Every structure is written in structure tokens, then in C-alpha cells.
Structure 1
């Protein structure tokens, strides 16, 4: 399991835990209110107050999650841009190195072929002279 999968697993576990805690808290609050010995009006007022409190908490959590999501998205964007820039730079460097190496190889092959051509011409001249000597001996 790589780091990204571990982070996603932890985030998923955290989200599930938060949802469970919120739902459990709401159910517990409603059960406490329903089993408390209060008249109907007071019970309804308490339920309204608790519902308003739960709504406020939910909005607060949603705002926090939204802020965190924006921060994570910003960090991911920055990292992706940095990685893309690095890849582009390295690709450019590799292309330059390949071009320089190709130029060097071409120059080396040219030089070597020129040297070989000169060597062949010199040897050919030497062989021609030897053959001419053998064919035309001077007495």
C-alpha cells in the first residue's frame, strides 16, 4: 500500500468516524429529550434548541471541511505544477544531451572516416609504387 492509499484510508476512516459520532450524538440527544419527564411545550422547545445546535455544528464542520479541501487542492495543484516543471526541465536537458552526443558522434565518425580515407589512399599509393617497381625493374 503506497502513501496515497494510506492517506485516503486514514481520511476515509476519519470521515466515517466523524459521521458516526455526529449521528450517534444526535440520536443520543433526541433519546435523552424524549425520555426526560417534561411537558410537551418544553420538550418541543428543547428539541428545537438541540436541532438548531446540531445545525450550527453541522454548518461549522462543513465550513471546516470546505476550507481543508481548498487547502489540499491548492497543495496538490502546486505539487503537480512543480512536478510538471521538473519533468519538462529534465526532458529538455536530456534532449540537449542527446543532441550534443549525436553531434559529437557525427564529428568523430567524420574524422575517423577522413583518417581511414587518407590511410587507404596512402596505402594504395604505396601498393601502386610497389607494383610499378615489380613490373618495371630498372636494370
Structure 2
């Protein structure tokens, strides 16, 4: 549009200059020449006003198009942000549900270990009545194994819980970054 408007403006100015030159070199009286120059000046004013009106109209159209596009972009961004927020909520719920499941499993495992320890202790007590020395030695071994097993289970559980918590934090940070973009 800029090249086309520039061309028309150049053509208008060139045509006006040519008309003025032709009038100045034409054999006419002063009165006729002034009247013709005055008429040409009025034509030039009218044409210039038409171009100015056209430029204002085009500017208004461009402004309206920009406003519409901006509005559409805002609506689109709001929708996308809402989708991200909803996905974040859903992921958070799923992670929390998974954490609850892990906690329940850990409690069950701890109860089973506790039951196993109780069973082992009961067996050790019954066997102690039969052979005190043998039972004492085996009970010590069992207690050590149970303690190691419980310690290992606790360490693994702690490590797993820390890994899950770290993953949840990382996921939350990534989602926040995506939302901020």
C-alpha cells in the first residue's frame, strides 16, 4: 500500500507541475491565466483532500484490524493458560494420589515386617525353652537381620519419597515456567 500511495502522490505532484508549466507557457492573458491557475489549485486541493481522507480510512481500518487481532490473541492466551492450569491441577492430583498410594504401601509393608518380627520373636521364645544357647544365638542373628532389613526398607522408602518429591517439584517448576511463557 505504501508503494501504491507513493506512486499516486508522485503522479499527482508531477501532473500538477506539468499543468502549471503548460499554463505558464501558454499564450493567455493574465486574467485567464489566474482563473485557470485558481481552478487547478482548487482541483489539487480536492484531490489532496481525497487522498488524506483515504489515508485516514486506511489507518482506521488497520487500527481496527490490530484491535481485533489483539483481542483474539488475548482470548487464545487466556484459554491456553486455563488449559495449563487445569493440566497442572490434574497432574498435582495424580501425584498426590500416587504419594498416598506409596504411603499406604509403606504402612502395609511396615505392618508385615512388624508381624514377621513378632512371629520370629515368638518362635525364638518357644525355641528358647528347648535350647537356650542355640536359640539365643539364632535370636541375635534374626534381630540383626530384621534391623538391617528394616533399616534398608526405611532408607529405600526415604530415598523413594525424596525422589518422588523432587520429581513433583521439578514438574511443578516446569509447568510454572510454561505458564509464565
Candidates 75, 99, 117, aligned match of 1:109: 99
The superposition leaves residues 54-87 of structure 1 with CA deviations (integer Å, 9 ceiling, x where unpaired) of 1011111111221121122112111111110111
Structure-2 residue corresponding to 1:28: 18
Candidates 18, 41, 45, aligned match of 2:31: 41
Candidates 54, 63, 67, aligned match of 2:53: 63
Structure-2 residue corresponding to 1:96: 86
Structure-2 residue corresponding to 1:122: 112
> Aligned equivalents of 2:122 and 2:20: distance in 1?
121
**Where do 5+ consecutive residues of structure 2 fail to align?**
131-181
User: Alignment partner of 1:38: what SS?
Assistant: coil
Structure number with greater CO (CA < 8 Å, separation at least 6) is 2
Q: How many residues align?
A: 129
Deviation at 1:135, TM superposition (A): 4.9
> Aligned equivalents of 1:84 and 1:73: distance in 2?
16
The superposition leaves residues 79-100 of structure 1 with CA deviations (integer Å, 9 ceiling, x where unpaired) of 1111101111111121111112
> Aligned equivalents of 2:114 and 2:14: distance in 1?
100
Structure-1 residue corresponding to 2:5: 15
**Where do 5+ consecutive residues of structure 1 fail to align?**
1-10
> Aligned equivalents of 1:130 and 1:21: distance in 2?
107
Larger Rg: 2
1:85 aligns with 2:99: no
Deviation at 1:53, TM superposition (A): 0.4
